[in-house]
Chains A and B, each alone.
Chain A
Amino acid sequence: MNKDTHIPHDPMHQRTKIQNIVPQKVIEVHDLVKRFGSFTAVDHISFDVKQGEIFGFLGANGAGKTTAMRMLCGLSKPTSGKGLVAGFDIRKESEQVKKNIGYMSQKFSLYNDLKVWENIRLFAGIYGIPEMEIDGRTGDLLRRLHFDKERNTLVKELPLGWKQKLAFSVSIFHEPKVVFLDEPTGGVDPVTRREFWELIYEATSRGITVFVTTHYMDEAEYCDRVSIMVDGRIEALDTPENLKKQFNTQNMDSVFLQLARKAKRTAN
C-alpha cells in the first residue's frame, strides 16, 4: 500500500495522468491455455497490445495462431488463463468482446451476392450503428476508398484486392478498439497489398489497434511489434528491429525460419 502523503488523494486525476504517459492496453493476455483432449494447442501465452499498435501474430501452420485468435475474439473459451480484449473478459464477457472488436479473414469477409452498399448496410446493422448515421458514413467510406462508382456493384464482381480493402473497411466501420485480421493479403497483387497496408496505417492513426497474421515476411516489418508462436508458445516477441538484432540477421524471414525450425509437433 502506498501511504505517501505527498500525493493528493485523487485517484481519477492520477489515472488520467498515467493514461497520458502509458498508452492504454487493448489486449491483455495472461497464461492463456487451450487444450483439445490431451493436445495443448495454446500453451501458456502472455502478452499485451497497446492502443494504436500494429501487432503481428506470426507462426508456422499448426503453431496455434488460429486457436489463440479465436479465444481473443470470444469465439472459443480458454481452458485456463485470463484475457482482456477491449476491456472485456474473454471468458465471462465474450458477447461484449464480439461487439467491441472487428474481424476479417481471408476466406470469408463479405457476401458475394450482395451489392457493395448492401454489405456495408448489413454489417452496420449487425454492429448496431444508428440508422441515421449509416447513409452518411457509407458515403464517406466509399469516397475515401474511391469506390463511389461501385456502390451498386455485386461484391463477387470486384477484383480480390478491392474486396479485401472493402472487407477491411467494413470490419472497422463500427470504429472498434481493435481489429483482428487473419491473413488479409493472401493472393493479393503486390500493389494492392501495399495499398491495403496503407489502410491499416490510416486506421491506427485513428487509434484503432491492429492484430494481424501474415505469411509475408516483408509485412512483418510493417508491424510495431511481432510475436512468433512455435508449438503453442510465444517464442519471441519484440519490434522487428530488435528481433533481427537478437537473431543476428538482416531480415524477418530468417528470424522466422530459425524459430519455426525448432518446432517439434506436426500440428492438427
Chain B
Amino acid sequence: MKAVTVSHISKSYAKTPALQDICFEAEPGEIFGLIGPDGAGKTTLFRILTTLILPDKGNANIGSLDIIKDYREIRTRVGYMPGRFSLYQDLTVEENLQFFATVFNTTIEENYDLIKNIYQQIEPFKTRRAKALSGGMKQKLALCCALIHKPDILFLDEPTTGVDPVSRKELWEMLKSLREQGITILVSTPYMDEAGLCDRIAFMTGGRILRIDSPQNMITQYQDPLWAVRGKNMHKLLNDLRSNKNVKTCFAFGDAHHITCYDGSLIEKELEKFLLEKGNEEILIQPITATIEDCFMQLTNHE
C-alpha cells in the first residue's frame, strides 16, 4: 500500500486557485520532496493532507485512510510541523514536549527512542522557554513534538526556510535517520539544492505539479546540453553571452553562468573568440551536468 495517495486535488481561495489537479503517490519509508517557490501551493497541499482544510475537488488517502471520512484517525497517525514555529512560546522545552505527548495520549518515555538523538541536542536547555531558543533549537524541538506520538508519516512544511546552511545540513541528517526508522517523510522546500537529498521529488509552481521523479532522473532527463562559462568580469560576461545569437538561455549560477544553445552543439572556440572580441578576459567554457535548479528552471521556462 502507498503511504500517501493524492488524486486530482484542487483548491481555491476565493477566486484564486491554490492547487490545480494535483496527483501523486508517496511510497512507505521514502523522503518525498515538494520543491517550489512561495505560492506554489505546498502549504495548502500539506494542510489538506493533514486534514486541516478540505479540498474543493479530488480525494486523498493516508495509507488506507480517507482524508475526509477518516480524519480523526489520520490525525493520530501523522506528525505535522508547520512552516511557522507553532510551539507554545511560554512553555519550556520539556513542557512543550510533555504537552504534545499528552495530547496524543502517550508519554515522552514511551517513544523516547525515536526522538532520542534529536532531543539530546536540546536537553541541556530543557528548562528554557521556547521563545528563548535559537532558530536551530526551535526547529529541533518542533521536530521532537511532531514525532512524540510515533507517527507513520511526517509532514514538514519548509523546515529549512530562513535557516542557515549549518542547521539545514543538520536537519537533513535527522531526516535521513528518521527514514532509517521506517517513517515516511513529506517535506517541502524552496531550496533547490535540498531536492537532491530526497528519494523522489515533485516540482511545483503556481498550484501545479510540473514533474515527479527521482532527483537523479530529473538530471539525466535534462533536455539540452549545458555549459558553464566563467570569466574575469562575470556581470559583463552575462550580458555578452545573452547578446550571442546562438545562446538560448543564460543564467548566473554562483561562480559560473550556465548556458544552453539553439543548435545544441556549441563550438567552444567560436564562443570564446566572440567573448574575447567583446573584451572579456580569462574565459573558461566547460560542458557540465545540469543541477536540480537547472531542471526546475527549464521546466518553468517552458510553461
Contacts and interface: CB of A to CB of B under 8 A. Distances in A.
A188 B38 contact: yes
B190 A191 contact: no
Given A240-B255, A257-B165, A61 B134 contact: yes
A215 B293 contact: no
Interface in A183-235: 183, 186-192, 194, 197-198, 201, 215-222
B272 to A, nearest CB: 21
Interface size class of B (residues with CB under 8 A): 35 or more
A260 interface: yes
Nearest to A268: B134
Given A61-B135, A266-B136, A187 B190 contact: yes
Contacts, number: 101
Contact of A256 (B38, B165, B235): B165
B86 interface: no
B166 A268 contact: no
A160 interface: yes
A215 B166 contact: no
B166 A62 contact: no
B163 A61 contact: yes
A190 B297 contact: yes
A78 interface: no
A266 B190 CA distance: 25
B161 interface: yes
Nearest to B125: A266
Contacts of B17: none
Interface stretch (B44-52, B63-71, B246-254): B246-254
Given A189-B300, A240-B255, A217 B165 contact: yes
A59 B164 CA distance: 8
28 contacts: A61-B136, A61-B163, A62-B136, A160-B39, A161-B37, A186-B161, A186-B162, A186-B190, A187-B161, A188-B190, A189-B36, A189-B37, A189-B205, A190-B297, A190-B300, A197-B252, A215-B162, A215-B164, A215-B168, A220-B254, A222-B234, A253-B165, A256-B165, A257-B166, A257-B169, A266-B134, A266-B137, A268-B132
